[in-house]
Amino acid sequence: MLAAAIVPIVVAIVRAIVRHWFPIGDNALLYIRVVDVGTEHHPLLGSWTSASLSVGENMNNPGPIYQDLAAPFAKLFGPGPGAALGVGTINILAVVGISLAARRIGGWLAEQWALLAAVALAWTMGSELLIDIWQAHALLLPFLLLLVLLAGLADGQTWCLGWSLAVASLLVQTHISYAYVLAILWPAAFVSYLLVRRGRPHLPWQQALRSRRALYIAGAMLLLWSQTLIEQFFGPGKGNLSRLAGNAGGGDLQVGLRQALGMSARVYTLPPWWLRSGFSSSVPSTPLSGTPEQPRIEIANLPNTLLAVVSLLALLALLGFGVVRHRRGERHVLASASLVALVGVVGSILAVSKLTVGPVGLAAHHVRLLWPLAVFVHTTALAVVVAEVRSRLPEQLPRSVHFVLPAIAVVAGVLAVPFLAQPQGPVAEYATMPTMRRIMPHIAQLKAVEPVLFDISTLRPFEPYSSTMLMTMQDMDIEFRVDDEGMVRQLGESRRADGSEPARVFQLQGPQAILYDGDACLVALASQLSPADEATALEYGEQLIDRLVQGSFGVADSAFVDGAEQQLADLNAAVAGDREAARKLVYEGTLSWWYYHGQLDAADDPAPLFPLVDTYLNTAYALFSDQSAPCPG
């Protein structure tokens, strides 16, 4: 069962290395900080958090533990292998930790149930998320490990105290959203610990607090939070902990209890639950509605509130039965797991209800912690049912019964091995990787004009390119700086631009990349087409330009509605022989739009020319350098 959970991660790592995979988008941005560990740009905090957009103040996740753990792999390998090995190893350690912790907490049976949960979660995530450094995905298996440790803590096992605090520190430092649910879960487990320990032999509290274990835990916590505290008290400006504390209430717009119940029911009690099919659909991405002054969030396709409440209450009743039924029996660990699951369901509903919704709306990754919690809850609930059924069966059961859980785990593990890129986060932009591979070698020319200012004012929202270009500069030892406050918070104060940079690097996409005619040097331009198809697209584009200039196209008057005066002027200029005006109409997509909307009349049907040209102009990406030195020959 342990192998069934680990092998998919190992295969994902090997596949990434063989295919020359590398981080893109936010993954590349996060990986830059991993490489920064131990350098002049050493991060004392976690990444910049998008919650900053909601509260109007730039904040970071509290600490850099995850970067520190992944850093050794970044030092030994390049961006692709380093990221895959770093994240994959952390996930493997989480799975091994789940196995060891569960066995120590409740023996081999508890270990089987815990490993079943681990392999089920790995299957749900799919291969590419098992090496994904994006916090929403990188923390799923570590969170499942914490839930197992909390079950042991609730059972009165003292050794779980320090380990649960350590893993909780990793989660909260890497993504502050875990703080809300853990503020309910961990105290509940600790109260259970105190109640259970009261009935067992134990040291007086004064002596326990001076024990070696207590000193070890205190020292470990001080070490784990030392960098966060250094930044708070000795860093520039307002400390990050002060920023987080001052905005703990979040922004004005929150999810609310009704929608939190609906989302929770979709993951906990109603299909498609936490399964693969529901990874992207159970909580659909939802933009804001309403007005800028009074924004609203209305999540579509949520279940009826009454149905959500009834189904959640039924689940809580089953978990409550597990707590009461086994609290004082030989299956007391199952009771503790049921308690953690029960509190987790209630706590997550409350945490999600208080979730702040920013200007970009709500996405599934904002509530992704529900997934490992739901896997734990369902595994625990199933264990309660099985235990109850088992208690009513004969003492001796066929040996084959003992192979049911391992068999399920092995099947799930095998199904998790094939390539699967869930369309979530940076993984959803895998199609842009070939374009980036063509751009990357050309970045080396920026070495001659470093340090460069990377201008983010031209970026499209959620584009995946810029961070990967910065990561490539770092890998080529090209110094880069930024002047945007959010990016300074992300990349560190040491990368703040001071105005002395001899080059300003910026990127353009789509028609802007193709039609740019400024003075900046072109570093490289590519698209998602192969070089051969790209050459054909350019040839087709020239044919369309020729036909425009020759007056071979007729355009209906209805194409020129209000606001289309410039398009009419460009068409007239093109017909008069202006090739630049014709080029603009082709590569801005105007000619294609006219054709597909029935506004274009041509004796010779141009349909075969448009698909390749449209793909080229829609996926074109270019990097430019506005520099004091002459452009490379």
% of the chain with per-residue pLDDT over 90: 81
For residues 592 and 480, the answer to whether their CB atoms sit within 8 Å is: no
pLDDT for 290 beyond 90: no
Mean pLDDT confidence for 507-522: 96
Mean pLDDT confidence for 494-516: 96
Interval 99-132: pLDDT, tens: 999 999 999 999 999 999 999 999 999 999 999 9
pLDDT for 27 beyond 90: yes
Q: What is the rounded CA–CA span in Å between residue 429 and residue 379?
A: 33
């040209």: which residue's tokens?
613
Mean pLDDT confidence for 345-366: 91
pLDDT of the residue at 240: 95
Res. 502 pLDDT band, cuts 50 70 90: very high
% of the chain with per-residue pLDDT over 70: 100
Structure tokens at 595: 């054709």
User: 79-125 and 404-415 helices cross at what angle (nearest 10)?
Assistant: 130
Provide CB contacts within 8 A for 413, sequence distance 6+.
3, 4, 5, 7, 8, 119, 122, 123
pLDDT of the residue at 104: 97
Q: What is the rounded CA–CA span in Å between residue 119 and residue 99?
A: 11
Per-position DSSP letters for 389-451, written without gaps between them: HHHTS-S---GGGGGHHHHHHHHHHHHTSS----SSGGGGGGGGHHHHHHHGGGGGGGGGG-S
Mean pLDDT confidence for 435-445: 97
> In the 8-state DSSP scheme, what is residue 105?
H
Mean pLDDT confidence for 276-283: 90
Res. 138 pLDDT band, cuts 50 70 90: very high
Distances (CA, A) of 531 to 219, 513, 561: 57, 17, 37
pLDDT of the residue at 247: 85
Q: What is the rounded CA–CA span in Å between residue 549 and residue 46?
A: 56
Res. 176 pLDDT band, cuts 50 70 90: very high
pLDDT of the residue at 211: 86
Interval 211-269: pLDDT, tens: 888 999 999 999 999 999 999 999 988 999 999 998 887 667 889 999 999 999 999 99
pLDDT for 203 beyond 80: no
Average pLDDT for the chain: 93
Q: What is the rounded CA–CA span in Å between residue 130 and residue 94?
A: 12
Mean pLDDT confidence for 410-429: 96
Structure tokens at 133: 């450094």
pLDDT for 349 beyond 90: yes
**Largest distance between two CA atoms of the chain:** 97
Q: Which of 221, 204, 90, 206 is nearest to 162 (CA)?
A: 221
Interval 449-468: pLDDT, tens: 999 999 999 999 899 999 99
pLDDT of the residue at 253: 86
User: 79-125 and 140-154 helices cross at what angle (nearest 10)?
Assistant: 60
Q: Which of 49, 65, 66, 425 is nearest to 250 (CA)?
A: 49
pLDDT of the residue at 292: 80
Domains of the chain, residue spans: 2-391+401-417, 425-633
Q: What is the rounded CA–CA span in Å between residue 292 and residue 142?
A: 38
Res. 206 pLDDT band, cuts 50 70 90: confident
Interval 385-417: pLDDT, tens: 999 988 888 777 777 778 999 999 999 999 999
pLDDT of the residue at 359: 85
Query: How many Cα atoms sit within 13 Å of 469 on the Cβ side?
Result: 32
pLDDT for 618 beyond 80: yes
